[in-house]
């Protein structure tokens, strides 16, 4: 996948790929707990799907960007009470998934 790249470039691409996968896992975990505004959930789902598509195409910047957009939509939805996490749970600054 990353043959022919030199040291720093290889490291940067590997780092970006690893970060994208890490955020995909976090975002999908949070997304699986959400309910609420259907249109917002559809947009989040589309961004997550796009992130996987771009990663498979080795388009690392767009893959990372898409997962970050998904995360942003989830945070905004939770903060504005358009989305809800599980029964009776609210978003918190101490949330282990937020800010990591």
15 part of a folded domain? no
Spatial separation of the C-alpha atoms in residues 93 and 33, rounded to whole Å: 17
Q: What string of DSSP letters covers 25-80?
A: HHHHHHHTTEEE-HHHHHHHHHHHHHHHHHHHTT-HHHHHHHHHHHHHHHHHHHHT
- What is the domain count for the chain? 1
pLDDT at res. 10: 78
83 part of a folded domain? yes
CATH number assigned to the domain comprising residue 100: 1.20.1270.90
| Average pLDDT by stretches of 10, the chain with 100 residues | 63 95 98 98 99 98 99 98 77 47
């Amino acid at each position: 996948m990353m043959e022919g790249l030199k040291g720093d470039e290889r490291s940067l691409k590997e780092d970006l790929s690893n970060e994208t996968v890490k955020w995909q896992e976090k975002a999908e975990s949070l997304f699986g707990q959400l309910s609420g505004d259907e249109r917002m959930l559809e947009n989040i789902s589309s961004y997550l799907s796009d992130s996987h598509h771009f990663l498979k195409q080795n388009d690392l910047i767009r893959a990372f960007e898409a997962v970050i957009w998904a995360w942003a939509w989830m945070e905004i939805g939770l903060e504005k009470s358009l989305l809800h996490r599980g029964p009776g749970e609210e978003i918190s600054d101490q949330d282990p998934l937020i800010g990591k």
